[in-house]
Amino acid sequence: MATIYEVSKLAGVSLATVSRVMNNNANVSDATRKKVTAAMDELGYRPNSIAQSLASNCSNSVGLLVSELQGPFYGPMMSGIENTFRNQGKHLIIAAGHSDEEREKQGIEFLISRNCDALILHVEAVSDDYLIKLSKGRTPFVLINRYISELSDRCILLNNIKGGYLATKHVLEQGHKDIAYISGPAWKQDAKDRLEGHKQALAEFNLEFDENLLFQGDFMEASGYEGLKALHQQTHPFTALICANDEMAVGAMASARDLGLTLPKQLSIMGYDNVFFTRHVYPQLTTINYPINEMGRMAADWVLNQVYQKQTPPLQTLFEPELIVRHSISQQ
């Protein structure tokens, strides 16, 4: 591999000049610029990015920590981020945290030790305090789907209360009065917010929230399955079920079929996230759109703007959910 030294030799200029044309900032005359690029072409020169990083103290890499590399949720997010960075010559180092505190911390440590210029974190298990302390460190980061008031300018969020409200309101508008709810884990903020929105809509329709119609799941498919089974056994009847995410909704659908319920006639089911497979289930799932791809893009823009001082579209931190009507809610 040719080095900058050989290029400078061939072009008959100094190292510094070659470096200048590479970073095309400084004042270089057109004539020498041409000489240099010609030499580069002739040698097939490619700058060594490691050496550049060491000398400039900028690795041009940003770390991304997600809970899972697989699953329907993170793909679009990663995709949005990768897309934005690729055009800017930045690269993405990816790690998975598996929603486990230790592994999330490890992942963050790992990414920092790889000299990432910035981090994009979708973390769940790590504490607020940890993140606040991290924010004092040298590596800037932005959070997706997590709110910490001390770090509010770097939290990219969905308005989950609104989403929860929209979901329940739609079900109510179809005439349902007895609505069961399978929530996410109580310690997760998004789960709490979605439930909060649910209660708001109920209140708006002068309906009381019934604890018996609440099952606490964990956002995984299996808990949707178990949830409906459990709810089906208690005494308060219901005609609709709202699930705090699509995975649980799909689990509930399987459960409903096992219970012999025809969908959506005997039970309406609402999801949340608008994950891509919601169009594939039968009946197609009515759900709330989570613009995760856009939010990923925004996180990338945040980094470009705040860390690399690039021109970007205006930064936005709060995103709005949207109702997606399909066929899983029946008219009552």
Partner DNA sequence: ACATTAAATGTAAGCGCTTACATTTATAAC
Partner DNA sequence: GTTATAAATGTAAGCGCTTACATTTAATGT
- Which residues bind to DNA, rule: CB under 7 A? 1, 3-5, 12-17, 19-20, 22-23, 26-29, 31-33, 45, 47-48, 51-52, 54-57
Q: In the beta sheet, which residues pair with residue 273?
A: 289
Question: Count of CB atoms within 10 A of residue 66's CB?
Answer: 25
Identify whether the C-beta of residue 245 lies closer than 8 Å to the C-beta of residue 219. Answer: yes
Map residue 117 onto helix, strand or coil: coil
138 vs 280, beta carbon nearer DNA: 138
**Residue 17 interaction partner, one of DNA, a second copy, none, beta carbon < 5-8 Å per kind:** DNA
Question: What b/e string do you get for 90-120 counting C-beta neighbours within 10 Å, with b at 16 or more?
Answer: bebbbbbbebeeebbbebbeebbeebbbbbb
**Residue 62 interaction partner, one of a second copy, DNA, none, beta carbon < 5-8 Å per kind:** none
Identify whether the C-beta of residue 43 lies closer than 8 Å to the C-beta of residue 7. Answer: yes
* Residue 139 binds a second copy (CB under 8 A): no
* Residue 94 binds a second copy (CB under 8 A): yes
137 vs 175, beta carbon nearer DNA: 137
Helices and strands per DSSP (H, E), number in the chain: 12, 12
110 vs 308, beta carbon nearer a second copy: 110
Q: In the beta sheet, which residues pair with residue 61?
A: 91
89 vs 260, beta carbon nearer DNA: 89
Q: Which position has the token pair 């919601």?
A: 278
Strand ranges inside 32-162, DSSP E = 61-66, 91-96, 118-121, 141-144, 155-158
Q: Which of 79, 189, 305, 317 binds a second copy (CB under 8 A)?
A: 79
CA distance 18 to 255: 67
**Residue 94 interaction partner, one of a second copy, DNA, none, beta carbon < 5-8 Å per kind:** a second copy
Site for a second copy in 9-68 (CB under 8 A): 46-51, 53-54, 59, 61, 68
Total site size for a second copy, rule CB under 8 A: 45
Which amino acid is located at 34 in the chain? K
CA distance 59 to 41: 25
* Residue 136 binds a second copy (CB under 8 A): no
Map residue 95 onto helix, strand or coil: strand
52 vs 216, beta carbon nearer DNA: 52
**Residue 139 interaction partner, one of a second copy, DNA, none, beta carbon < 5-8 Å per kind:** none
**Residue 163 interaction partner, one of a second copy, DNA, none, beta carbon < 5-8 Å per kind:** none
Hey, what are 199's tokens? Answer: 């209660």
Question: Count of CB atoms within 10 A of residue 288's CB?
Answer: 28
**Residue 19 interaction partner, one of a second copy, DNA, none, beta carbon < 5-8 Å per kind:** DNA
**Residue 5 interaction partner, one of DNA, a second copy, none, beta carbon < 5-8 Å per kind:** DNA
* Residue 101 binds a second copy (CB under 8 A): no
Binding site for a second copy (CB under 8 A): 1, 46-51, 53-54, 59, 61, 68-72, 74-76, 78-79, 82-83, 86, 91-96, 107, 110, 112-115, 138, 250, 253, 257, 276-277, 280-282
